[in-house]
Amino acid sequence: MPIYEYVCENCSKKFEMIRPINEADKAAGCPDCHSTHTHRAVSKCFSKGDGLTVSSGSGGCHSCTGGSCAHCGH
């Protein structure tokens, strides 16, 4: 399952959740304040579009920090 990033509108905390694709847009509860006033953060990898390069074997793509594409779903 892909990892999605969310931003809490109540306390501005960013957090990640692993969820099925069909639940990606459902409200995610903030782990800090338990507010459901959250929205999905736009993935940096997806917003780069065609400029994205993925090198095979390294386990990460161009825009991923931390050397893993687990965060951007690639």
Nearer to Zn ion, 34 or 46 (CB): 34
Structure tokens at 17: 């959740």
Interacting residues with Zn ion (CB under 5 A):
8, 10-11, 13, 30, 32-33, 35
Q: In the block, which residue shows the tokens 């399952």?
A: 1
Rounded to a whole number of angstroms, the minimum distance from the CB of residue 16 to Zn ion is: 14
Cβ 10 vs Cβ 33: under 8 Å:
yes
Nearer to Zn ion, 13 or 44 (CB): 13
Structure tokens at 72: 């951007």
> In 1-74, which ranges are E strands?
3-8, 14-18, 38-40
Rounded to a whole number of angstroms, the minimum distance from the CB of residue 6 to Zn ion is: 10
Rounded to a whole number of angstroms, the minimum distance from the CB of residue 26 to Zn ion is: 16
